[in-house]
Structure 1
Amino acid sequence: MSNDPLLQPFQLKHLTLRNRVMTTSHEPAYPEDGMPKERYIAYHAERAKAGVALTMTAGSAVVSRDSPPSFNNVLAYKDEVVPWIRQLTDACHAYGCAVMIQLTHLGRRTGWNKGDWLPSISSGPHREPAHRAFAKIVEDWDIARVIANFADAAERMKQGGMDGIEIEAYGHLIDQFWSPLTNALDGPYGAFSLETRMRFGLDIIDAVRERVGPDFIVGIRYTADEAAKGGITPEVGLEMAQVLKATGKIDFFNVIRGRVHSDPALTDVIPLQGMASAPHLDFAGAVRAATGLPTFHAARIPDVATARHAISAGLLDMVGMTRAHMADPHIVRKVMEGREDDIRPCVGATYCLDRIYQGGEALCIHNAATGRELQMPQVISPAETRRKIVVVGAGPGGLEAARVCAERGHDVTVFEAADQPGGQIRLTAQSPRKREMIGIIDWRMAQCAARNVRFQFNTYAEAADVTALAPDVAIIATGGLPNLELFETCGEAAHVISTWDILSGDVKPAGRVLIYDESGDNPGLQAAEMAAEVGANVEVMTPDRSIAPEVMGMNLTPYLRNLQKFGVRLTVAERLLGVVRDGNQLAATIGTDYSDFTKVQHYDQVVVNYGTRPLDDLYFDLRDGSSNGGQLDHDAFIAGGPQALRVNPDGAYQLFRIGDAVSSRNTHAAIYDALRLCHVM
């Protein structure tokens, strides 16, 4: 038996949890037709296999038809969910992992123009800013119906073999009753007192407990402090905890602090890179100390040291490491094996959650196997035949290719033109609040070092350098260079600089600066932030109808907080058409896609963010000597199968290019290119 606090078992009612690590309820948006099918099961089973004690599924499973999925949620109101839940629980139980599910009615935290086109319902008239739907104010028959729906759904989960359920009471309908900010009702469920506000949730708990019996585990996730004027205060939150405990029907608390009604509020509840780690941990510990009930919590607990402290200090009984397990599902196994330094770090990029809230599926920015467990391996298997691999470029894609090939047992050499690895991530990490991004590079460099990958830095590789090593495979991961062209015009814009110039520090921003953001991704806003911080008068302009649509809500929050603090002007729906010198200034001609309107404005600097152009000369120099002519078998690539095209019998090597050397995309795309190409190489 280990002495590690994280590896101690925990007794929750009749259920023995094998250690203190869990993944809290979250919706990766993998269901199909509202059911947790093969992909969903494989995702949770991978983490169960790797040692997590409790996987809390769904975020959340919806109990009513007028709670249509906001994030491709599991539909707990359908009887057909039961056999799929059974398959999910069986798959996790087979590895000794307990499984629970979170049940909810979203209330106003959804829309009306989806699913069955029923109006959303809530306890007040105001729409939630994040989901923009004005809800119908609940009637008494709605209340009775939803209470019954919760009980029905809980029974289905018990029939499906779940070890317990967690009732979701923060941000969703129950919390909308509980919060003074969102309850505008009269009558027995009205806003008059804590007792009347809590009655709806307590009635749900009563109905659920009556349906599932005394032995089934029932917990609740609730906000014990809304951290908002007029909302639930810490004192009220602790009083609520005592009321819930006094029912005798709640087996655990999962404590939240804050609100989730808007992107900024959500970002404070679930902090991302550059924000404090575990900011609500001590508060969760205070709830545990005041109530004595088993207490769970998760909010940016990204590393084993913080998780271990949460348990050893008696702040939590079970510690949630949810995003961390998206980055590395094998955390617990590596702790058990004394390999903590081998854990792939969560860098707090929150690409996972931002994609969900944008209507996509959860993906980790630098673990491309997460969510793709049916096609991509989380653990690389050795190859039958050792091959010689040359990778050109030590950015995230090139390093992933080198890592995976080395894990396969191949002989790997990496050429890099710069004096250190990282590519564009090294530029990103120049901003203090984005420094954690370098963990993507540092982890891969450590993995490569452990597998004897050879690096040649300060080497601008040419074709002869590659062929001199007589490789079996050459992988071009040279990335791209800033694109300074303006949309559908000939040649580069005159007198402009790139965001790279600002991020690298090669050009010091000064005076009136225009950041012209055609791409709508991070470099534009990051350059604007850096320019504003040193005193420049900054305007961010985009031809799009919104600022930085590729950045997405949670990551947009810290940018906007900083840009607004410095008075940065945000201009939408205007297009840069050209730049000429006018004395000591630059005269920018500006138009719009919506009309023939144009104007001229003057700036001291014009900075263009329009993606990258592939740095692909080496690829084309090597193509004729390759056996595949540089071709990629798309069917095999998509299926995760080996590349076997041979169009040139005289070719001496296979040749591939990945990441921005193909086209301007993002870090995840480059890493995914490398993984699916190399894991079968």
Structure 2
Amino acid sequence: MSYDALFSPIKLRGLELKNRIVLPGMNTKMVKDKHHVADDMIQYHAARAAGGCGLNIVELVSICKECHAYLYFGLYSEADRDELKKVTEAIHENGGKAAVQIWHGGFVPADFFDKTNVEETPDTVTVERIHEIIKQFGESAKLAVEAGFDALEFHGAHTYLPHEFMNPSLNNRTDEYGNQSLENRCRFNLEVIREMRANMPEDMPLLMRLDAVDELLPKNTTVEETIQFVNWAEEAGVDAIDLSRGNARSLATVYEVPPYNLEPGFNMENIAKIKKAVNIPVIGVGRVNMPALANKLIEDGEIDMIAIGRAQLADPEWCNKAREGREDEIRRCIGCTEGCYDKVIDPKATHITCTRNPMLCLEYKGMPKAEKAKNVMVIGGGIGGLVTAEILKKRGHNPTIYEASERAGGRFRLAGKAPKKQEFEAAVDWEIKECERLGIEIKTNTTVTPEMIAEIKPDHVVVAIGSEFATPDLPGVDGADIVTAEDVLAGKAEAKGEILILGGGLVGCETATYLINKGEKNVRIMDSRRVGKAMGMLRSMFLDIEYPGKTIQKSNRSKVTAIGDHTVDYKFTDKFKKTSNKSRSFDTLVLATGAKSRPTADLTAKCDELGIAYNVIGDAKKVRMGIDATADAYKVGMEV
């Protein structure tokens, strides 16, 4: 299919871009000691420039030490300039154009502050400091120009400092930068734009990131006010507006890194309202992950350019594949946010990653060919086994997948049965087709035994047989009208009437949404700790957005001790840590109490006996998330 609109050139001031696709600035955590760039960041951008992206926007850079938290790059010294020059050179060498987000975070980075930082908000800074910050934006712009960037972006969204000045509830000043009028609320941003423009070449474009809709705050900037500001910003020197959504002070956080709960293109209606009323080009943002939708939005005049962010994290060749008509080969982002968001807020994670693309941020390691091709038996055709086989094949090995069931996919396929998670099942179907495309044989309905290993004598074995339901050790667990969450999601069991779900992790919560969507009205989740505890922050927040109030009833700190005849006994611990014994009735009890690794000892023992090297990966190693299974797959695939 041809995507002429998506791949048509566009000119912003003196900069001509080869297509309409933008890699937006996304936090990767790859900064080293707040100021240094290494091969991982360089090759991350090089891969996406080589992959055909029109404009790479390097993630936000701090204009001063006050707001420079450890997650971010700085751009307020010549040393910072020289470090970022390594990134612009790599982008240019691979046929791309480079921009950078210039930023002051206001209160937002406070969770990542160290002793060098100071929280600065509209209500805490003096007029003198405001003027200094404006000058620092200009100085950072000058350094960015010297670093070789082709365009600059002023970040004014997501409750960072510029957004805080514009929002009538986050700005309580009473002076010329205060909230008495729209002009006053916009004054800081317009002065920053003029200062940045004064430090840029006349033919270099200045972009601005802004929220298409201000929402869920005590008071919000209206769409009409946003349109007025954009027109003022154009007069001040902005050449294109990059319209995102979300803030860090409310449930609207979910719109910044939208999970699978939101449909592709979810933000475009908001963007279209602004597009109709402004003169400068509009960059659309909103979980667009396939070229057909991106092309249609541009073709229909709803936007001028499209930010393809996490879709390019999942597949750095997204642009080339789309342009060459190979869209079926695109490894699609599934909106799980486990690697691109959860890892950002996880202090143990050294960089972001991706369930679909475990090579993310590891591009610098390449895909070295194996010294000697090996015949590898991959036991298990779940997401971990499939990805392992693909990496092994690309490195020159000869993997064969053995899957015990009639269809590969494992628990990832089951996950796709939950509401709005169809992309998970589509992902394993894609992986199966990718294996076929690479010439990897998948033997279904084949249970591997120790004797089979002895007969085949592979050079290497990868055990990826996954996990199985773990029956809780509770009296009465084998009683009437008790089913497992897995059987409910798979359509093998029904839950009716007053439904009690035991276990408030990811599976329990998704089973509840599945039942509500099927029309059940009385669903309660019980957990010994907190319902939604293992869903990840954004997906957990969506429980309250999509199922407000008591649509799904929740019993936190409720530890079930026994199951009777359509009743459960449990210990409830209140907020004062006082425990009391209680009971609750049910018509159907759904067990969502977790999984356990399938036994692997007989397989690994035979490998030991025969001297065959082996690895155990994914849930077979330890029950975790899909992102851990593909991370294991990458590690083993690269080591064999």
Same fold, TM-score > 0.5, yes or no: yes
- Post-superposition Cα deviations, 1:377-428, rounded to whole Å, max 9, x if no partner, equal 4xx5654544322222111011112222333444433222222222111221
Aligned to 1:603: 585
Is contact 2:34-2:72 (8 Å) kept? yes
User: What are the within-5 Å matches in structure 2 for residues 187-206 of structure 1?
Assistant: 187-206=175-194
- Post-superposition Cα deviations, 1:501-533, rounded to whole Å, max 9, x if no partner, equal 33223332234444343xx64112112323444
Is contact 2:3-2:323 (8 Å) kept? no
| 1:162 maps to 2:130 | no
Aligned to 1:642: none
- Post-superposition Cα deviations, 1:14-64, rounded to whole Å, max 9, x if no partner, equal 222222212012112221111352122221121112221211011x22223
| 1:612 maps to 2:595 | yes
- Post-superposition Cα deviations, 1:266-293, rounded to whole Å, max 9, x if no partner, equal 3245433242211233543454443332
C-alpha distance in 2, partners of 1:553/1:595? 25
C-alpha distance in 2, partners of 1:624/1:480? 19
| 1:244 maps to 2:233 | yes
Is contact 1:82-1:157 (8 Å) kept? yes
User: What are the within-5 Å matches in structure 2 for residues 85-484 of structure 1?
Assistant: 85-111=84-110, 114-116=113-115, 118-124=117-123, 137-170=124-157, 171-227=159-215, 230-247=219-236, 249-256=237-244, 258-262=245-249, 264-268=251-255, 270-351=257-338, 352-359=340-347, 360=349, 361-375=351-365, 377=366, 380=367, 383=370, 385-484=372-471
* 1:300 Cα deviation after fit: 0.8
| 1:542 maps to 2:531 | no
* 1:3 Cα deviation after fit: 7.5
* 1:480 Cα deviation after fit: 0.9
Aligned to 1:20: 20
Is contact 1:355-1:552 (8 Å) kept? no
C-alpha distance in 2, partners of 1:113/1:42? 26
Is contact 1:494-1:579 (8 Å) kept? no
Is contact 1:528-1:563 (8 Å) kept? no
Match of 1:500 among 483, 486, 491: 486
C-alpha distance in 1, partners of 2:578/2:5? 67
- Post-superposition Cα deviations, 1:305-334, rounded to whole Å, max 9, x if no partner, equal 112223333333332110100110111222
| Equivalent AA in structure 1 for residue 630 of structure 2 | I
* 1:592 Cα deviation after fit: 8.5
Is contact 2:558-2:570 (8 Å) kept? no
Is contact 1:31-1:73 (8 Å) kept? yes
C-alpha distance in 2, partners of 1:198/1:153? 21
C-alpha distance in 1, partners of 2:575/2:445? 44
Is contact 2:6-2:295 (8 Å) kept? yes
C-alpha distance in 2, partners of 1:596/1:240? 54
Is contact 1:513-1:603 (8 Å) kept? no
Is contact 2:231-2:279 (8 Å) kept? no
* 1:437 Cα deviation after fit: 1.0
| Equivalent AA in structure 2 for residue 114 of structure 1 | F
C-alpha distance in 1, partners of 2:212/2:189? 14
Aligned to 1:53: 54
Is contact 1:112-1:119 (8 Å) kept? no
| Equivalent AA in structure 1 for residue 595 of structure 2 | T
Aligned to 1:640: none
SS in 2 for 1:438: helix
C-alpha distance in 2, partners of 1:3/1:230? 41
Is contact 1:391-1:398 (8 Å) kept? yes
Moved more, 428-437 or 532-541: 532-541
Is contact 1:429-1:436 (8 Å) kept? yes
Return closer, same or farther for 1:225/1:598 CA change in 2, 3 Å cut-off: closer
| Equivalent AA in structure 1 for residue 162 of structure 2 | I
| 1:556 maps to 2:556 | no
| Equivalent AA in structure 1 for residue 17 of structure 2 | L
| 1:81 maps to 2:80 | yes
* 1:344 Cα deviation after fit: 0.5
Return closer, same or farther for 1:270/1:591 CA change in 2, 3 Å cut-off: closer
| 1:43 maps to 2:29 | no
C-alpha distance in 1, partners of 2:55/2:457? 49
In structure 2, the gaps of 5 or more residues are none
Aligned to 2:569: 587
* 1:543 Cα deviation after fit: 3.5
Is contact 2:3-2:292 (8 Å) kept? no
- Post-superposition Cα deviations, 1:237-288, rounded to whole Å, max 9, x if no partner, equal 22111111122x22221123x4313463132454332422112335434544
SS in 2 for 1:671: helix
| Equivalent AA in structure 2 for residue 194 of structure 1 | L
Aligned to 1:529: 513
Is contact 2:212-2:223 (8 Å) kept? yes
| Equivalent AA in structure 2 for residue 40 of structure 1 | M
C-alpha distance in 2, partners of 1:12/1:424? 47
| Equivalent AA in structure 2 for residue 261 of structure 1 | A
Is contact 1:481-1:613 (8 Å) kept? yes
Moved more, 604-613 or 366-375: 604-613
C-alpha distance in 2, partners of 1:507/1:370? 39
In structure 1, the gaps of 5 or more residues are 125-136, 630-647
| Equivalent AA in structure 2 for residue 622 of structure 1 | L
Is contact 2:467-2:598 (8 Å) kept? yes
SS in 2 for 1:424: helix
Return closer, same or farther for 1:154/1:549 CA change in 2, 3 Å cut-off: farther
* 1:220 Cα deviation after fit: 1.0
C-alpha distance in 2, partners of 1:169/1:591? 44
Return closer, same or farther for 1:194/1:499 CA change in 2, 3 Å cut-off: same
Moved more, 466-475 or 90-99: 466-475
SS in 1 for 2:456: coil
Return closer, same or farther for 1:396/1:96 CA change in 2, 3 Å cut-off: same
Moved more, 358-367 or 601-610: 601-610
C-alpha distance in 2, partners of 1:91/1:262? 36
Aligned to 2:614: 655
C-alpha distance in 2, partners of 1:592/1:465? 55
Aligned to 1:638: none
Return closer, same or farther for 1:173/1:475 CA change in 2, 3 Å cut-off: same
| Equivalent AA in structure 1 for residue 266 of structure 2 | P
Return closer, same or farther for 1:61/1:199 CA change in 2, 3 Å cut-off: same
The TM-score with structure 1 as length reference comes to 0.85
* 1:611 Cα deviation after fit: 3.3
Return closer, same or farther for 1:538/1:315 CA change in 2, 3 Å cut-off: closer
Is contact 1:587-1:603 (8 Å) kept? no
SS in 1 for 2:493: coil
| 1:621 maps to 2:602 | yes
Is contact 2:43-2:363 (8 Å) kept? yes
- Post-superposition Cα deviations, 1:92-126, rounded to whole Å, max 9, x if no partner, equal 111121111111111122327822365523235xx
Return closer, same or farther for 1:318/1:531 CA change in 2, 3 Å cut-off: closer
Percent identity between matched residues is 23
SS in 2 for 1:412: strand
| Equivalent AA in structure 2 for residue 50 of structure 1 | G
Return closer, same or farther for 1:592/1:285 CA change in 2, 3 Å cut-off: closer
Count of residue correspondences: 629
* 1:448 Cα deviation after fit: 1.1
C-alpha distance in 2, partners of 1:92/1:397? 32
| Equivalent AA in structure 2 for residue 54 of structure 1 | L
Return closer, same or farther for 1:201/1:280 CA change in 2, 3 Å cut-off: same
* 1:78 Cα deviation after fit: 4.6
